[in-house]
Chains A and B, each alone.
Chain A
């Protein structure tokens, strides 16, 4: 139980394009999902908290107009990197708060983004 998927697993795009990443909870409903970014050899950095049916809460320093988050259903949250630039190249990982609203977070497999 508590399986989280992400799509795509890899994406390469040109500078200036937008990229959408999907995060799905497969066997449970997730009212809260999280989006993290991880640069090589660095720790996870929380970008935003996504709550179903409401606006995402962004961490300090994360541009909400650049990283658009939508959590339209209890099993799906999306992150759109708008007008991506090479410095946005990173490993983007989502997680979902566990079944029955527990505090444990279950992570998706991650999406590696390379912006050329």
Chain B
């Protein structure tokens, strides 16, 4: 059974701080990893994808991937109250197929 694990939170950080969201997955051969943000009552929106070990930066967001540890994280710098949402980690366990397995998400609360 392929699994994606996330701490459900909530993770509370003050405005301006760095929020660190973590995700582990069960299959070492997984190749593709995605972070989505989901506001309450809305559908998920893509933040970023990462495929190679290391860091990938996009604005205030940095995704970090460590395939040996089966671990992917998302850092949000200069957190804003508008970043308050549930963050979903998704993994493509089968290269060449596009089915994603989602974690249950981590709720992030950024206080002003």
Question: Which A residues contact B (CB, under 8 angstroms)?
Answer: 32, 34, 42-44, 46, 49, 93, 97, 101, 103-110
Cβ contacts under 8 Å, B103 to chain A: 43
Q: Is the CB of B46 within 8 A of A104?
A: yes
Give the residue of B42, B49, B104 whose beta carbon is less than 8 angstroms from that of A43.
B104
Give the residue of A42, A105, A109 whose beta carbon is less than 8 angstroms from that of B98.
A105
A sample of 13 more A-B contacts (CB under 8 A), given A32-B98, A106-B46, A107-B44, is A34-B99, A43-B88, A43-B102, A43-B105, A44-B44, A46-B100, A93-B44, A101-B98, A103-B100, A104-B34, A107-B36, A107-B46, A109-B42
Cβ contacts under 8 Å, B99 to chain A: 34, 46, 49
Interface of B is mostly: strand
Cα of A93 to Cα of B87 in the assembled complex, Å: 16
* A-B interface, 9 closest residue pairs, ranked by CB to CB distance from nearest: A43-B104, A110-B43, A107-B43, A97-B98, A44-B102, A93-B43, A103-B32, A107-B44, A103-B98
B94 to chain A, nearest CB (A): 10
Question: Which B residues contact A (CB, under 8 angstroms)?
Answer: 32, 34, 36, 42-46, 49, 88, 90, 92, 98-105
Give the residue of B43, B49, B88 whose beta carbon is less than 8 angstroms from that of A109.
B43
B73 to chain A, nearest CB (A): 18
B2 to chain A, nearest CB (A): 12
Give the residue of B49, B101, B102 whose beta carbon is less than 8 angstroms from that of A104.
B49
Known contacts A104-B34, A104-B49; decide if A110 and B102 are in contact (CB<8 Å). Answer: no
Closest residue of chain A to B107 (Cβ to Cβ) is: A41
